[in-house]
Structure 1
Amino acid sequence: MRKIIFLDFDGVLNTEHYQGLLMYQGKPWQDEHGAFFDPDAVNNLKKIVDSTHADIVIESSWKYLGLTAMQEMWKIRQQPGKVVGITPSSVSDEWLLSADLSEIAPAIGHCKGMEIASWLADNTKESTKYVIIDDEYVILESQQPNFILTNPHEGITEEDVERAISTLNN
């Protein structure tokens, strides 16, 4: 069974708390890849990855830098898990042909949810369990059971870890 974490960065790994702390301390808050990630949030992501062996697909706006750049940043920053993809910037014909049209109309403002559904349709032929971790409600209604909404101030919490592990392992 394949397991995927659809991951946002801002408000999930890059937290308001940590950015404020770095600025208050007069420390650098970013590198050539962008804003630094909160070590507590990264540690919580590591717990999810270690427990579930899930791969990571970036659904953050940072994805516009490209998959190679995301994988390079992941390696340089020694982040947990393996980045295997980024969600598309538009939806695929394959997904549109099989989509529930009653769900698409209300989802127009939630394009990340459609991009995630499109990625799943294009990249998973076997059974797949997934979670979506984001600080904004960006999903389709059918994705609700797989969605973890973070507080942008603190990012991924222990409670989020437990829920993600339960969703991916059950």
Structure 2
Amino acid sequence: MAKKHSKIIFLDFDGVLNTEYHQRLLQYEGKVWQDKHGACFDPKAVKQLQTIVDMTHADIVIESSWKYLGLEAMQEMWQDRQLPGRVIGITPSVISDGMLLSADLEQTSPAALHCKGAEIASWLYNNDMENASYVIIDDEYVIMESQLPHFILTNPYDGLTEELAMRAINILNQQ
């Protein structure tokens, strides 16, 4: 279990840090587009994540499909790539892990339980952080309606931009 943290960034990778623009640029320039961890992240998007971490001191929970590599692999990648912030967890896979404990989830339709929003709600519940200040950064609308005030939708082409980073900072610093 993660320790208590006051601010959490629920982070997706593809379409947020791994942008279509950056991948196309690397391919066009004939540069390496991946390392042992997977696709290389866009330095511009990573810089915006750094700004969010610097301005909020938020910790990171991975909600990307990359989480299936495991928490240790995510933390190793973070260290190897010298990425900003501290990865403290990964969201559970709600259906396979049977983590349907939160009251919010009991009233959710079965189809919605496949969404990352349910996984995020489970992580907050299981870590006793339901009142934490958090932001969800993803390029897909994968949240529960109650999470809308915490949600930042990126464009997969350019990912996490300065404007979106400022919105994330405002959300995290509200509470």
Q: Give me the TM-score of the superposition, normalised by structure 1.
A: 0.93
Aligned-residue offset at 1:105: 1.3
Residue pair 2:12, 2:137 contacting (<8 A) in 1 also: yes
Aligned-residue offset at 1:127: 3.6
Distance in 1, matches of 2:47 and 2:8, equals: 18
Distance in 1, matches of 2:38 and 2:80, equals: 12
* Aligned position for 2:104: 99
Match among 63, 67, 79 for residue 67 of structure 2: 63
Match among 37, 45, 49 for residue 33 of structure 1: 37
Pair 80,89 (structure 1): closer, same or farther in 2 beyond 3 Å: same
* Aligned position for 1:108: 112
Gaps of 5+ in 2: none
Percent identity at matched positions?
66
* Aligned position for 2:50: 46
Aligned-residue offset at 1:101: 4.3
Give the paired residue count: 167
* Aligned position for 1:152: 156
Off by >4 Å, runs of 4+ in structure 1: none
Aligned-residue offset at 1:94: 2.4
Pair 151,159 (structure 1): closer, same or farther in 2 beyond 3 Å: same
Aligned-residue offset at 1:158: 1.0
Letter in 1 for 2:104: A
Match among 142, 152, 173 for residue 169 of structure 1: 173
Gaps of 5+ in 1: none
